[in-house]
Amino acid sequence: MITNKAITKPIWVSPNPSVQPEGLELSSQSLSIVVPVYRGEKTLERLVHEVTLLKTSELNHPSLNVLEIILVWDGAVDNSATIMKALAEKNPLVKTVWLSRNFGQHAATLAGVARSRGDWIITLDEDGLHSPEDIRALLKTAFQGNHHLVYGISKNAPPHTPIRNTTSKLAHWFFKSVLSNEDRGDFSSFRLIRGDVGRSLSAYCGAGVYLDVALQWVTLSAGTCSIHLRNEWRPSQSYSPYRLLSHFRRLVLSSPGTPLRAISLMGFFTIFLSLSLTSYALYQKLTGNVPVQGWTSLFILISFLFGVLMISIGILAEYIGLILSISMGKPLYLVQSKAPTSTAT
C-alpha cells in the first residue's frame, strides 16, 4: 500500500473569525489539487494553467501555496492521457495517477486524495465548471469556521439540462433531510478537505461508497461557501436516467443506517399496534360485539404474528446495516494530526 507522509505545518484557527495571529496567511497553507479525468482532452491544459496562476500571485492578491496538481486518469474515453503526460513533463506541479480502468468519479477522487501531501486538499471537476479563484473563499471559510470540510455551493443554476438539475436537487434534499444524521449543509464535487482527514479516510473506504457520505463519517464540522459556476469548456456530459438512478442508489446504499433503522422502528411500532388491536379485539369479545365465532382469536393471532415478523425484519435490518458499514470501510475512529481549536467561551 502506498502511503504519504502528511506535512505537519501547524494550523491556527481563532474562535473569533476577526482575530487571526500576526504572520499567518492563507498562503502559508499548502494545497493539493485533485482532478479526476474522464473527458479532459480539451479542458485540462486550461485548468492547470488557471491553478498555476494561483501560485504565481496575480496582481495584488496573495498567492496560494499550491503544492501539487494531481490528475487522476479514470479510464478516459478521449485523448486525456496524452495531455496529462505532456502537462506533467512541462509543469513540475502536475502529478499523474493512472487507474487500470474507469472506477467512477468518487473512486478516482479518493485515489488522488490518497497520494496527496498538502495541508489541504481541493477536489475540482475537469470541465472548468468550478473556478480555481474560489479556492481562496473555501479556505477562508474553513479558517473562520474551524471546519475540516468546506463545500463550494453555487449561487446560480448549473448549466445542465432541467431534468439533471431537478434530480440533483432532489438527491441533495434527500441526503440532507433523510440520510444525514447531523445538520450538514449541501454538498458538491468542489470540496476543500483537511489533508490528514482526507488521506486517512482514503485508507478506509471500500468499494461503492459515496464520497460525501464517507466524509460525513469522519469530519467534525462541514461548512459551505457560495461560489459562481461557470459555463463548461466542453459540451456537458449527458447523464441517462439509468446513470442518474445509479448515482442516487450509491448515495442511499452508502448510508445504510437511516433507511434500515426505519424498518427496525417500523417493526417496534407494529408490535405496539398489534397489542393495541389485540386489546380492542378482546374488549369487543367481552362486550359481546363479535357475532362470528373464532374471529377474536384469529385476529389476535394474525396481529401478533405480523408484529413478530416486522420486529424480526427490523433486527435483521440492523445487522445488515452494521455489515454494510463494515464492508464500506466506515472506521471505528480516525486520528487527526493536529489538536482541535477550542470553541468554549
Sheet holding 222-227, edge to edge: 94-98, 65-73, 30-37, 120-123, 191-194, 149-154, 222-227
Query: HSE (CB half, 13 Å, CA atoms) of 54?
Result: 25
35 and 177 part of one domain: yes
Q: What single letter denotes the amino acid at residue 81? A: A
Coil, strand or helix at 343: coil
Per-residue pLDDT at 37 exceeds 70:
yes
Tell me the average pLDDT across 9-23: 37
74 residue type, one letter: D
The stretch 76-85 carries a mean pLDDT of 92
Distance CA 314, CA 264 (A): 3
In this structure, the answer to whether residues 46 and 185 fall within a common structural domain is yes
Higher-pLDDT residue of 343 and 40 is: 40
Contact 210, 136 (CB under 8 A): no
Quote the pLDDT of residue 176: 65
Question: What is the per-residue pLDDT for 277?
Answer: 74
pLDDT in the model for residue 271: 73
- Residue 285 located in a structural domain: yes
Which tens digits make up the pLDDT trace of 124-150?
A: 999 888 899 899 899 989 988 888 899
What's the domain count of the chain?
Answer: 2
Q: Which of 21-25, 193-197, 213-217 has the highest mean pLDDT?
A: 193-197
Judge if 277 and 218 occupy the same domain. Answer: no
281: containing domain: 257-327
Q: Region 204-229: what's the mean pLDDT?
A: 80
Judgement on whether residues 35 and 97 belong to the same structural domain of the protein: yes
pLDDT beyond 80 at 30: yes
| pLDDT surpasses 60 at 15 | no
| 9: pLDDT strictly greater than 50 | no
CATH label of the domain that carries residue 234: 3.90.550.10
Query: Is 10 within the bounds of a domain?
Result: no
Q: 175, exposed or middle or buried, with CB in 10 Å at 0-12, 13-18, 19+? A: buried
The pTM score is: 0.67
Provide φ and ψ at 49, rounded to 5°.
-60, -45
> Which pLDDT score, from 0 to 100, does residue 87 have?
95
Whole-number pLDDT of residue 16 = 38
Q: For residue range 165-208, list pLDDT tens digits in order.
A: 676 666 666 666 665 545 555 778 899 999 988 998 888 777 76
**Where is average pLDDT lowest: 12-21, 135-144, 331-340?**
12-21
pLDDT of 160 reads 61
Question: Same domain for 261 and 249?
Answer: no
Residue 32 pLDDT > 70: yes
Q: Are residues 196 and 317 in the same domain?
A: no
101 and 157: one domain? yes
Q: What is the pLDDT of residue 70?
A: 96
Q: What is the pLDDT of residues 254-279, one digit of tens each?
A: 665 556 666 666 767 777 777 777 78
Instruction: State whether 173 and 273 are in the same domain.
Output: no
What is the rounded CA–CA span in Å between residue 186 and residue 55?
29
Residues, the chain, total? 345
